[in-house]
Structure 1
Amino acid sequence: MRVPAGYNPFWRPLVWALAALLGGGVALGQAPFGLWELAIPALSLLFPLCLRTAPFKTGLFAGMGYAAVAMFWIVDPFFVEPDLYGWMAPFALFFMALGMGLFWALGIALGARLGVGEPSRAAGMALGLFATDLVRSYVFTGFPWVLFGHIWLDTPVAQFASILGALGLGLVTLGLAAAPWLLPGRRLVTVTVAALALVGLWFGGIALRAAPLPERAEPVNLRIVQPNAPQDQKWLPDHAEKFFFRHLDLTSEPPAAGKPAPDLILWPETAVPFLLNDPGAGLAMVAEAAQGKPVALGIQRSEGARYYNSLAVIGPGGQVAALYDKVHLVPFGEYIPFGDLFAKIGVTAFAAQEGNGYSAGSARKLIDLGPLGVVQPLICYEAVFAHEISGRDPRPDWLMQITNDAWFGTFSGPWQHLAQARFRAIEFGLPLARSANTGVSALIDARGQVVARLDMGMQGVIDAALPPAAAPTIYAKTGDYPLVEGLFIALMAIYATARFARVDRRKKQV
């Protein structure tokens, strides 16, 4: 693995190709692969490769390889209307990968510069990579997708997200990967310690997952509707009405033998072909199909020239009992930064069906459904932002997500979005009900386990009782603040140690 200092041009493309391959190997830990046992070694091997070459350039190619494998679903929205947007797909993937590569390159290079000697430089790189996850979770509206901690989702280790959050699990992941390079003369010792730490996390997670949950005083029976309306047909005049009637038919189906009637029915995001403020007979038809039960559905609405991506609860008679406008919109999907300027050259938002984009709702809020509990509504992308969920008073009783993942193909994108929803359930100790247009619809318990689901491309309903909530979690009370403080302290400690080491080296040279 050691590359000579000042390695010649023959080595450079080989090093960059190896870095990209290792980055792709790390991505195999993400959904739908879930191969954490490959991701950790690949991540670990990146440390000596970066330390013994040019950290910035090597980190750039590693990050690009990671994004290319983990987020190649980014091309799928461009092929919903390939004649118009298909040419943009390779550029979208390239610039997405380049952006991730630059984050990794900066984190690795700056982290490596903090230390003196391989151990402190490796520790600095681990903290630098953790900082990239933290920063991109918040800046430029945030993009906390495929974080390092997400690789643990289908293992007991994921339960520690209730304490550390998904970001904190990323720090654990990087610590395990960096361990072999922290004491070069005692590599066997550090590897053994890391292995024992992983075993402890594994069995600790089993204990957390097995902890009993309180029983609900009264059951809440849900019906989750998945109509399976392909995105390339969803808004076509010949199909929109058909899909609306499909929602109605699925809603009015009698429950299976032995199943109680639902107390609440969930439809996915943008489920209906009309505006809330101009529904015609649409809302009355929804209420009639629901036979007196409330329906929470995704719908668009307008106020003058502004349009909103909303969730409305429709009660008996088609009355709107509650309304929530999506606050955290998807950049370039639901709105275009400097949209008025870009609209002049024909660049508009992909997912916005009216105008050139949606307007953001004024505030996040909880919806009180009376005996069915207080819920936090999450429309699509909002479920990926842990720091925007109400974990303190007032605490919701459960989380409700409606989404349309048909934009993102059938392979990795929708499964990664489901993984995010499962992490929110673990982090906050709350069950989550998820209605997705083409999948994956699911009912998730407070430990992040999928109780029931409808896979991609399926049409049907989930009839199931809402699982109980757990006690408020540590993460719900603290959020990411301890991680930010800990990162700052650790970086300062490495810097101070390196500075003293440099001073001591100069004294010895004198």
Structure 2
Amino acid sequence: MERLASRVILSSGIARAFLAMLAGALAVLAQAPFFIIVTPFISFTLLVWLIDGATGKAGAGMVRRRLPAFLVGWWFGFGYFLAGLWWLGAAFLVEAEDFAWAMPLAIIGLPAFLAFYFGFATLLARLFWSEGAGRICALAAAFGLFEWLRAFLFTGFPWNAIGYAAMPVPLLMQSDGAIGLWAVTTLAVFVFATPALFGTRRGLVPGLAVAVLLVAAHVGYGAFALGRPAPAALEPVLPIRLVQPVIDQAKKLDDAERGQIFEEHLALSAAAPADGRPKPKVIVWPETSIPFILTLNPDALVRIADVLEEGQVLIAGAVRSEDAGPGLPPRYYNSVYVIDDRGQIVAAADKVHLVPFGEYLPFENLLKEAGLQALAASMPGGYSAAAAHQPLTLPGGKVFYPLVCYEAIFPDEIDAAPLTTDALLNVTNDGWFGNTPGPFQHFHQAQLRAVETGLPLIRVANTGVSAVITPRGVVVDGLQLNAKGFVDVDLPAKEARPVPRPWQTRGFLIGCALLLTVALISRKSYA
């Protein structure tokens, strides 16, 4: 082990950059759908050794002295995000004649940008570096802080946060409800990087002891949380139907197919329940599943009323238009409608957190002059964002908190959910990305939102993965990727809300400060 560590530490040039990129790419195998948990132990061990050797030339300026540490992290991040996000390129092939040219910007440009977060993390860690376990503390705190920043800087994109690798199954998800994703991420990096101490020996015993205690606490708390008595079932029971139509994205964009697509959704909604189950009270369709502007197509509401039986409610994703004023083009919103059995829209909510370049163009005037347009917005000007999340109150009083598409990957998006909320509702369309890791990664991240909030999650995707999930992250029932059909399931009861997010965030920041303090003390002791 010491010989291997020495070779990695002394590596240089292209070999060093390639090793860092390979280590980052390897770490992604711990994310969905693979969950090969051993890979980040290898990746972060290599990263520690690479940072050990990231020293600038004596007498060089401040920037040149720090640049090697930054580059190690940048190459590691580039490998991580390239291997974890390559599937984004599939979306550019749906309308290849218009967007295929931009594919490299997504599959190379985005990872190159996101890699800066990891580059700055390793740079910060190197400032507190030492020869012992203190450097593991520095790396954990630095990655925790920059993963947290990745969640909201430049609109945020916390996809595949490192902490998700430590929570592949419900047993290991419960810590998220107690301390939050960013604290889990910080502690996960510490544990993943601990084997690096075998290569240098210094600090091995205390570092390994802390790592073992953290793993034991992670598993032990999960067993305790899952072993608690489940909350009493809802009375009356609320049967829900998830409709997963599996409509090819190219077909969804074809105007001639809209009528047929609508009828496919209605047919799945009207089908008789299986196994003698009661008829669903709530039917849920995916994001943008209604292929019309409802206010311009009243016949569509009539058809919905024809299919819904008395007391049934349809929740469906749709594009909503709004008059912007005289002489101005309409505004369009990516919305969720609640429609009753008389075909009346009784509640609606608009998406707040839009996808840059997908649903709207940043710096729109400038980029339009260059001939660019939003990828997933078929209407002129793209979508507009709502000012705030709006809970959906159903007939009968149940309250659902809607999260449209990738809003479910943002832990902080759910902080505004009122205490009266009965369930989270995530409608999405992952059909853009085909049979790739993307839909599975999206599902896994949404699954954690249920654990964090103590609320059941209703998730409906055009092509999958659709499911109802308990507040403990357990899948009650669902449909796998590309499984066309529906599933009827009863809504689980919510649980007591876990530790409030503000307290989790304070604890996370205090924890990072303590880790950096330990790293600083360790640095001085080895000086």
What amino acid maps onto 2:313 in structure 1? P
Map 1:41-440 onto structure 2 (within 5 A): 41-53=42-54, 54-155=68-169, 156-181=171-196, 184-188=201-205, 190-215=207-232, 216-292=234-310, 293-304=312-323, 305-371=330-396, 373-390=398-415, 393-440=418-465
Matching residue of 2:29: 28
- Aligned-residue offset at 1:488: 3.9
Unaligned runs of 5+ in 1: 506-510
Unaligned runs of 5+ in 2: 55-67, 324-329
What amino acid maps onto 1:42 in structure 2? S
The 3-state SS of whatever aligns with 2:158 is coil
More displaced, 71-80 or 184-193?
Answer: 184-193
The 3-state SS of whatever aligns with 1:36 is coil
The 3-state SS of whatever aligns with 1:96 is helix
1:44-96 deviation line (CA, Å, top 9, x unaligned): 33111222233222211111111111111121111111122112212321112
Tell me how far apart the structure 2 counterparts of residues 404 and 74 of structure 1 sit (CA, whole Å).
Answer: 13
Tell me how far apart the structure 2 counterparts of residues 411 and 319 of structure 1 sit (CA, whole Å).
Answer: 38
- Aligned-residue offset at 1:501: 5.6
Tell me how far apart the structure 2 counterparts of residues 479 and 94 of structure 1 sit (CA, whole Å).
Answer: 34
1:93-148 deviation line (CA, Å, top 9, x unaligned): 11122122221111101211134444433322221111121110111111111011
Tell me how far apart the structure 2 counterparts of residues 34 and 211 of structure 1 sit (CA, whole Å).
Answer: 26
Tell me how far apart the structure 2 counterparts of residues 116 and 392 of structure 1 sit (CA, whole Å).
Answer: 44
RMSD: 2.3
TM value normalised by structure 2 = 0.89
Tell me how far apart the structure 2 counterparts of residues 233 and 248 of structure 1 sit (CA, whole Å).
Answer: 17
Tell me how far apart the structure 2 counterparts of residues 145 and 315 of structure 1 sit (CA, whole Å).
Answer: 35
Tell me how far apart the structure 2 counterparts of residues 31 and 230 of structure 1 sit (CA, whole Å).
Answer: 23
The 3-state SS of whatever aligns with 2:42 is helix
Structure 1 contact 391–476 (Cα < 8 Å) conserved: no
- Aligned-residue offset at 1:395: 4.2
**Identity of counterpart residues, as a percentage?**
32
The 3-state SS of whatever aligns with 1:269 is coil
The 3-state SS of whatever aligns with 2:396 is helix
What amino acid maps onto 1:97 in structure 2? P
The 3-state SS of whatever aligns with 1:240 is helix
- Aligned-residue offset at 1:417: 0.8
The 3-state SS of whatever aligns with 2:241 is strand
Structure 1 contact 162–476 (Cα < 8 Å) conserved: no
- Aligned-residue offset at 1:272: 1.4
What amino acid maps onto 1:136 in structure 2? R
Q: 1:116 to 1:477 in 2, by over 3 A?
A: closer
1:352-396 deviation line (CA, Å, top 9, x unaligned): 121121000122121222536211011111111111214675341
TM value normalised by structure 1 = 0.92
- Aligned-residue offset at 1:496: 6.8
Structure 1 contact 60–104 (Cα < 8 Å) conserved: yes
What amino acid maps onto 1:45 in structure 2? L
Matching residue of 1:508: none
Count of aligned pairs between the two proteins: 500
1:20-43 deviation line (CA, Å, top 9, x unaligned): 111111111111111112222322
Structure 2 contact 8–46 (Cα < 8 Å) conserved: no
More displaced, 349-358 or 219-228?
Answer: 349-358
Structure 1 contact 67–97 (Cα < 8 Å) conserved: yes
1:215-254 deviation line (CA, Å, top 9, x unaligned): 2222110011111111111121232211110001111111
More displaced, 285-294 or 414-423?
Answer: 285-294
Structure with greater contact order relative to length (CA < 8 Å, sep ≥ 6): 2
The 3-state SS of whatever aligns with 1:28 is helix
- Aligned-residue offset at 1:410: 1.7
Tell me how far apart the structure 1 counterparts of residues 270 and 418 of structure 2 sit (CA, whole Å).
Answer: 36
| 2:490 is aligned with 1:465 | yes
| 2:481 is aligned with 1:456 | yes
Matching residue of 2:327: none
- Aligned-residue offset at 1:201: 1.9
The 3-state SS of whatever aligns with 1:358 is coil
What amino acid maps onto 2:192 in structure 1? A
What amino acid maps onto 2:337 in structure 1? A
Tell me how far apart the structure 1 counterparts of residues 308 and 504 of structure 2 sit (CA, whole Å).
Answer: 38
Structure 2 contact 9–52 (Cα < 8 Å) conserved: no
